[in-house]
Structure 1
Amino acid sequence: MTAEPRPRDFALVALGGVLWGTGGLAGAALADAADLAPLTVAAYRLLGGGGVLLLGLAAAGALRGFARTRPVVVRVLATALLAAVYQAAYFAAVQRAGVAVATLVALGAAPLAVAAGSTVSTRRLPAPRTLAALGLALAGLVLLVRPSEAGPRAAVGALLALLAAVAFATMTVLNRRGVPGLGPLPLTATAFTLGGAALLPVAALTGSATTGLAVPSDVDGWLLLAYLAVVPTAAAYGAYFTGLRHVPATTAALLALLEPLTATVGAVLLRGEQLGLHGVLGAGLVGAAVVVLRPRRAGSPTMDAPGRAAGHLSRSDAARAGSANTSGVVRASDPREGPAPR
């Protein structure tokens, strides 16, 4: 049975977006401080974030029930590949186009990709409120990103950011539904660790002798690396994938627009970038898109799941479905275990 979106799940996805917004800033600062290549930063971020989650889950004994079925292995490997592509393309875009432009393009294009994928898979258009939020978000992003300021290097960065957007959108749609025996935190921990490990040899082969797999040489560099691993990676993705189980994919991708909004504000405050009147208006429109999508009350559906949408059962339907539990067709979720695999 698919649970209706709850304010708690909405808040978790939104929290992930806000925390991600500090990732580009921290990654750029780390690359500058330690002279690291974008692929190396991406590899360290995934390895660090995945490793932190693995250690925490192992200490809590949460990995003992980790299933090793074919669906679980396929999901972990697919998520690892998508995470590696997303992070590598994103940090390469940051190096060429800057934090604000790379983040805005990557996350601004993601909702469109998710909406297109969801429309094809479900054969129905997003609900009116979601379409309105998409329009607000796109208008805001157009104002935040000034095409007149883009040069050849920034254009390459924008293309890399688009690749990152496709990878992120695919990862969001893929993980909208769980698989039996694989919770969101074990998925994040194992997939990110594998994704980071896969990027290490690529970074070593493509980087120079000094920027290949170099490590920070001072305390500030290690603090930046620790922050990048824990806050915008382990904590952010853990919150995002946990809330994603009950939040429609298009809504989640739109909530992820809090990342470029946070990144833009951070770039203005910490890196001295100018936002201007157009930027302030654009940031306001992106924020309005998130407000439009928020659940009105506990248990209220988002616009991608209005009323009795596909997958939502009435009480009588649920009662009839409950009798099928012994066959494993439908299983209600236990609040202590998290959402039932769907």
Structure 2
Amino acid sequence: MSVAVPARARSSAAFVLAGVLWGTGGLAGSLLGQLGGLHPLAVAAYRLLVGGGVATLFVFVKGGSLPRTREAAKRLLAVGGLFALFQASYFAAVALSSVSIATMTTIGAAPVMVTLASVRKPRRWTLVSVAGTVAGLVLLRWTPDEPAHLVGGLGFALLAAAGFAALTMLTAKPVDGLDPMATTAFGCLVGGILLTPLASWPGMALPLHADVLAVACYLGVVPTALAYAAYLRGLADAHPVLGALSAVLEPLTAAVLSAVLFGERLSVTAWCGAAVLVAALAVGYWRPEPR
């Protein structure tokens, strides 16, 4: 006997899976950069190209095909462009400021932008969840010793947030002939191709060593192809605001993994921030905006 799972529960589970898998991407990307001697832009390009290539192969094996309508082709070009914009802007923000400031600004600003753009009159619980998310990120990622006045870094981080917000709102509207996996597959490929000329400037030579290739495959498959497919699947049944809020699971997962795997000690302030993030996300799941 099969048990019907409510759409809300399916979307919540998909968002949680995406956020947790994204949280492993930062560590995998950092490791790939170290092992392969790659610039962050090259890591981002390989992430999209490998993820898109593997997901495309999966789509073809399952009997899928290239998009056959103009609407589907336009959607994939837009998704690919937003993937490239998000990745390039985020890594530019990292280069001009720091990982903490770039992550805090990007992921903190994205749900605010989605809320302002997609909700005419936000519900009280939505505002509480968004405000808690921003406050939790500040507590989790803020380091007093880091410069907070670098306008260029903050500008690129906000551009990355805008790219992620636009991706979230765009993919929340379905297109005939494109399911979440096909959108992820072809969108990542397009984004990787668009990002390759920019990433080629600092160099994209990838050492053909087993450990480097294994990390590159993991980065492309798990926190990219699987994570974005799960995220887009969640957007099919949930409001875009909830999707943007779920992205906070990425820095939360990365912080916990760093503490567990590498012995990095989180301050009391960071742990408080983690608790606030969990509470804010719980409010978002408990009282989501209606579609």
**TM-score computed with the length of structure 2 as normaliser:** 0.90
Distance in 1 separating the partners of 2:104 and 2:43: 19
Q: Write the deviation string for residues 53-110 of structure 1: whole angstroms up to 9, x where unpaired.
A: 10011111122xx542222111110110000111122234445555444333321211
Letter in 2 for 1:118: S
Q: In structure 1, what is the equivalent of residue 251 of structure 2?
A: 260
Distance in 1 separating the partners of 2:170 and 2:219: 25
Q: In structure 2, what is the equivalent of residue 181 of structure 1?
A: 177
Does the 8 A contact of 1:128 with 1:303 survive in 2? no
Q: Secondary structure at the match of 1:62?
A: coil
| Pairwise CA distance, 1:128 | 1.8
Q: In structure 2, what is the equivalent of residue 19 of structure 1?
A: 21
Instruction: Tell me the C-alpha RMSD between the 2 structures.
Output: 2.1
Q: In structure 2, what is the equivalent of residue 33 of structure 1?
A: 35
Task: Say if 1:98 and 1:231 are closer, same or farther in 2 by CA, change over 3 A.
Answer: farther
Count of equivalent residues: 286
Q: Secondary structure at the match of 1:148?
A: coil
Distance in 1 separating the partners of 2:7 and 2:113: 21
Q: In structure 1, what is the equivalent of residue 60 of structure 2?
A: 58
Task: Say if 1:294 and 1:269 are closer, same or farther in 2 by CA, change over 3 A.
Answer: same
Does the 8 A contact of 2:104 with 2:138 survive in 1? no
Distance in 1 separating the partners of 2:152 and 2:255: 20
Larger radius of gyration: 1
Q: In structure 1, what is the equivalent of residue 79 of structure 2?
A: 79
Task: Say if 1:75 and 1:127 are closer, same or farther in 2 by CA, change over 3 A.
Answer: same
Distance in 2 separating the partners of 1:74 and 1:45: 22
Task: Say if 1:168 and 1:13 are closer, same or farther in 2 by CA, change over 3 A.
Answer: same
Q: In structure 2, what is the equivalent of residue 276 of structure 1?
A: 267
Distance in 1 separating the partners of 2:270 and 2:89: 25
Task: Specify which of 303, 306, 310 is matched with residue 288 of structure 2.
Answer: 303
**TM-score computed with the length of structure 1 as normaliser:** 0.78
Q: Which runs of 5+ in 2 are unaligned?
A: 1-5
Distance in 2 separating the partners of 1:133 and 1:177: 23
Q: Specify which structure has the higher proportion of helix.
A: 2
Q: In structure 2, what is the equivalent of residue 231 of structure 1?
A: 222
Distance in 2 separating the partners of 1:272 and 1:32: 19
Distance in 2 separating the partners of 1:217 and 1:98: 30
Distance in 1 separating the partners of 2:155 and 2:252: 20
| Pairwise CA distance, 1:199 | 1.3
Q: Secondary structure at the match of 1:6?
A: helix
Q: In structure 2, what is the equivalent of residue 142 of structure 1?
A: 138
Structure 1 residue 287 and structure 2 residue 278: aligned? yes
Identical amino acids, percent of aligned pairs = 43
